[in-house]
Amino acid sequence: MGNQTLQLPERVNIDTIPDIYNRVKEMVHKSSDSDTIAIDFSGVVHIDTAGVVTLEKVQTDANERGIELSFENLSPTVEKTMQAFSSRLLEKPAGKQKPHILEYVGEYTYEYWITLRDFILLLANISYYGLVALFRPKLRRKGEVIRQSNFIGVTALPIIMLVNFLIGIVLSLQVGIQMRPFGAEIFVAQLIGFAMIAELGPLLTAIMLAGRSGSAIAAEIGAMNLSEEIDALRSMGIDPIPYLIVPKLYAILLTIPLLVAVATFVGIFGGAVIGYTVFQIDFNAFYNEVVFILRYYEIMTALVKSIVFATIIIVVSSFYGLHVEGSAEGVGRATTSSVVVSIFLVIVADSLLGLLFYL
């Protein structure tokens, strides 16, 4: 093609650059080695940073292809702008070398180990301060046990009652329909009684608490962590575990047995309502069947389970709250992880305790 010239418009800016870029690219494609392209700036009165970056880029690309691309007739003002925003100013981004797959494996294993270690340490700390703070109330935040008991226990009661009532209804209906062909509907009462007391009452209450109170605890501690409130406590010589977390532990340990008792009662009542309305089982007969199957052993099982579940919820939500990093998004991630891990560990603990108590 030989020599080509491109006359630039009056304004070389973010609006005109795509067109200029396409025209120069076309000229470069049509050119061969040792051809020259002149970019004529004689009409340019304004050039912005996008203009500077683009023209320098096309010049570099053309030169790499052996085509000489030159800038001509630059006014002093335009030349000054070109110098002020030249890509020679560009700093190199800090590069990361791609690690080997074994490094990935090693890194993840190490991270999991550290997480597990921190979790066990936190569990040990909470257990220790849980005992110590019983005798040294000054370690705890004043009035916090009552406030947390109200939040974890009282305000959670309506939703826990509703969920357990509905589960009682559904369970009773499903079991009763299966038993009807054998004329054994009366056993619905025994099954509902046993399942609600030993299994569903504590489990459903714990799942609701993990979702409701666990997430709130993780978010609260996480936000405090981000705004350096935890650091401020430490700098004042106050250990955040007895001060912030132990009151929550006391509150949940105080309220969860009561919540489980109410949840179980309401669940059984839901079953009795269906028993009476669908399977014609008298309330009195239903009650007698429940009492017949009920042993202290089931009540103790429910109590032990609820205490274990409560401890899991507090330790997991505090762990994720204390490990929040970065920004508000980190709080969201910690909250989600706290709920997912709490529910998972509650179900694992429920399975293990079930095996322990009934094998």
Interface residues with other proteins (CB under 8 A)? 13-15, 17-18, 21, 46, 48-50, 52-54, 57, 80-81, 84-85, 87, 89-94, 96, 325-330
Residue 10 or 15 having the CB closest to other proteins: 15
Query: Shortest Cβ distance from residue 212 to other proteins (Å)?
Result: 26
Query: Shortest Cβ distance from residue 308 to other proteins (Å)?
Result: 35
* Residue 58, amino acid: V
Q: In angstroms, rounded to a whole number, what is the distance separating the alpha carbons of residues 236 and 187?
A: 61
Residue 284 or 327 having the CB closest to other proteins: 327
Q: In angstroms, rounded to a whole number, what is the distance separating the alpha carbons of residues 40 and 20?
A: 12
Query: Shortest Cβ distance from residue 322 to other proteins (Å)?
Result: 17
Residue 41 or 309 having the CB closest to other proteins: 41
Contact criterion met (CB below 8 Å) for 172 and 270 = yes
Contact criterion met (CB below 8 Å) for 299 and 196 = no
Q: In angstroms, rounded to a whole number, what is the distance separating the alpha carbons of residues 336 and 328?
A: 13
Helix (H, G, I), strand (E, B) or coil at 1: coil
Residue 70 or 87 having the CB closest to other proteins: 87
Query: Shortest Cβ distance from residue 109 to other proteins (Å)?
Result: 24
Residue 95 or 158 having the CB closest to other proteins: 95
Helix (H, G, I), strand (E, B) or coil at 313: helix
Cα angle 219-222-225, degrees, rounded to a multiple of 5: 150
Query: Shortest Cβ distance from residue 323 to other proteins (Å)?
Result: 14
Query: Shortest Cβ distance from residue 20 to other proteins (Å)?
Result: 11
Q: Taking Cα atoms as reference points, which of 163, 318, 347 lies closest to residue 252?
A: 318
Query: Shortest Cβ distance from residue 222 to other proteins (Å)?
Result: 13
Taking only Cα atoms into account, the Rg of the chain, rounded to an integer number of angstroms, comes to: 35
Residue 141 or 323 having the CB closest to other proteins: 323
* Residue 129, amino acid: Y
Residue 18 or 99 having the CB closest to other proteins: 18
H-assigned helices in the chain: 17-30, 49-64, 76-84, 101-135, 144-149, 157-179, 187-195, 201-209, 215-226, 229-235, 240, 246-277, 283-293, 296-322, 328-358
